[in-house]
Amino acid sequence: MEGLWRSVTGQDPSTEEYSGVEFWSRPERAGWLTKQGEYIKTWRRRWFVLKQGKLLWFKDSNVTSASVPRGVISMGTCQTVKGAEDIVHKPCAFELSGSGNSLEPMYFLADTEKEKEEWINSIGRSIVQNSLALNDSEIVDYDARR
């Protein structure tokens, strides 16, 4: 789980964390969100890109193959994404959290309720598709047992 919330250390993520992800080309979802810092609870507006099971963020929206993400979250280490207006007391808020007690939730603000729902749906789909909990050995094919 170490390295899930890369930006909090103040270091850019290592290229291994997003190698093979063409984040500059045809993302599953991209757009502006405001993210709360994990230790210093300030809110910063960042350009987010969801692609191939990674949520990456950048300082600006001009993302090219030469861009370096400010942070990367692997959807395989996440468990839930849900609305969080009642927690952060701001409109269009949602939270992304990992499994177990090892990870603090991250909080985001979308610009509109519609964008919030779209991000929650896209991230939720990516979590399911990339879940570490569903590795091949745990998937049971009941039809094959008949």
Q: Summarize pLDDT for 91-110 with one digit per residue, the tens.
A: 999 999 987 655 689 999 99
pLDDT-based confidence at residue 10 (cuts at 50, 70, 90):
very low
Provide CB contacts within 8 A for 9, sequence distance 6+: none
Residue-wise pLDDT for 114-137, tens only, equals: 999 999 999 999 999 998 655 554
- Give all domains of the chain, ordered by start, each with its CATH number: 20-135 (2.30.29.30)
**E strand intervals along 53-105:** 54-58, 71-74, 78-83, 93-98
Instruction: Describe the strand order of the beta sheet including 29-36 as a list of residue ranges.
Output: 71-74, 54-58, 43-51, 29-36, 106-109, 93-98, 78-83
Residue-wise pLDDT for 105-116, tens only, equals: 999 999 999 999
Q: Is 124 helix (H, G, I), strand (E, B) or coil?
A: helix
Provide CB contacts within 8 A for 87, sequence distance 6+: 93, 95, 107
CB 10 within 8 A of CB 40: no
* H-only helix segments in the chain: 85-88, 113-129
Distance CA 132, CA 129 (A): 9
Q: Is 30 helix (H, G, I), strand (E, B) or coil?
A: strand
